[in-house]
Chains A and B, each alone.
Chain A
């Protein structure tokens, strides 16, 4: 029984994936057909054809969603309908020669498909909606009003539909906005990454939100590690400038709220949150040191501390392979940056690597000794081959 169920489920997933890919390809084909601007067919006829296809795919999608046998096709057709709606908007914008900076088209597309995603409870349509919203947000000029509207729609959609992929899109969009339009430096970006990691702690302790916790962990880890690495690149002016007053206080407020919520929601001491506080404090401290060389040295130390912290959390607390892989990738980058960092003399760099190597060996030896003394060594030891 169980093997049949598992086999059926796998086959069902395969059908879902293939039909969604098919819908995406059809949608792309239709979008490219619009861009060819085939003048042999009059504009009103083209609009009528696209509108008919949109309504027909929605109707077929709804109808097929009702039958258990063709449910996946139904979802894929509904998804195709949302793409065809976007195709319709751009076709009209093309025929009516709307302005080149017609970014409202993206907004209309997203607002139009958000109710469909909500009613059909479709994660893939929510992902499309969040992607289109991200594009709109990044193409529009800097505006807190746009940001608030975007955040309300994107996060509400992701949480109502409970789609981790849509949430990932929203988090990526927020990071892109902070870098592109918010002109955040490495310090503010690192604090934002830590706030996301604290967000993971809040979600993982709540059973209702647990399914939505992973995007916070992965994107938070990537942003924090990348930002701390950028902090070590003292000669890149874009990233090394002193934090802007407004953005700094804004992101600090977000960080404090998320860490405080994390502490209050778990109601017990969590080493991850303590690590977040320590890392945030050291990053803030480093960014205000006036001496360039001292700042460079401390930023390397902070990056290494962050790497050790993430690695420890990945191994001991979360047992998460993805976090460990991301941390090891960051470690490789840090080694390369430190090796070529011309802020320090060759002898200084040599001393740093030698001392760090000795420290790591000492740590490994201590751990090995503890493992040998541990009573569970017999049962967990892996035979040497």
Chain B
């Protein structure tokens, strides 16, 4: 006959042996309650995000998504910056500095309307994005505007992928101090 000796941490069932099955059933009930609590926490996290409506105007523009080296230990790679690139001429001297890009809805899509140095007053069919703007080269008409967004978790970048990936369509919720990416579509 083999007898087990010297267990430092008895199992639930060993602890329950004194009071037969009733205590075991009680333990099972508490165990199930603990697991249900965990599931509720996860459901609550989903529900909280789903119910909290993101304020601001909806802006849909094509953007370049740069490869991100930012990495969260538990959630992987994320981006907090997007780049808008378009052919745009302005009489203003654009240096790599902080600007406000005003986008106007022309009925079908959003297009860059003007660049302002100070925060502009915009009409109902306009949205302003704060960012840094520069022309790709001194004689170029291609303007790039880099703007910060709330973080969005993305897939692991493939090795050997170019620094800027192909343009994607971004749905953005824009408030005075927040830009939230709601969707990035190819």
Contacts and interface: CB of A to CB of B under 8 A. Distances in A.
Given A5-B2, A5-B3, A36-B156, A51 B39 contact: yes
Dominant SS among interface residues on chain B? mixed
A5 B7 CA distance: 12
A38 interface: yes
Given A90-B74, A94-B75, A97-B152, A85 B38 contact: yes
Nearest to B35: A58
A34 B35 contact: no
Interface in A112-131: 112-113, 115-116, 119-123
Interface stretch (B10-18, B90-98, B122-130): B10-18
A113 B72 CA distance: 22
Nearest to A105: B74
B88 interface: no
Interface residues of B, number: 45
A35 B31 contact: no
Given A97-B151, A116-B31, A9 B6 contact: yes
A38 B155 CA distance: 6
Contacts, number: 131
B121 interface: no
State the 4 A-B residue pairs at the shortest beta-carbon distance, nearest first: A35-B76, A96-B49, A115-B34, A90-B74
Given A9-B6, A34-B76, A62-B28, 7 more contacts: A12-B4, A35-B75, A37-B76, A37-B156, A65-B12, A97-B49, A98-B45
Interface of A: 1, 4-5, 8-9, 12, 31, 34-39, 47, 51, 54-55, 58, 62, 65-66, 68, 71, 74-75, 81, 85, 88-90, 92-100, 105, 108, 112-113, 115-116, 119-123, 161, 163
Interface of B: 2-6, 8-13, 15, 27-28, 30-31, 33-35, 37-39, 41-42, 45-46, 49-50, 72-78, 80, 150-156, 180-181
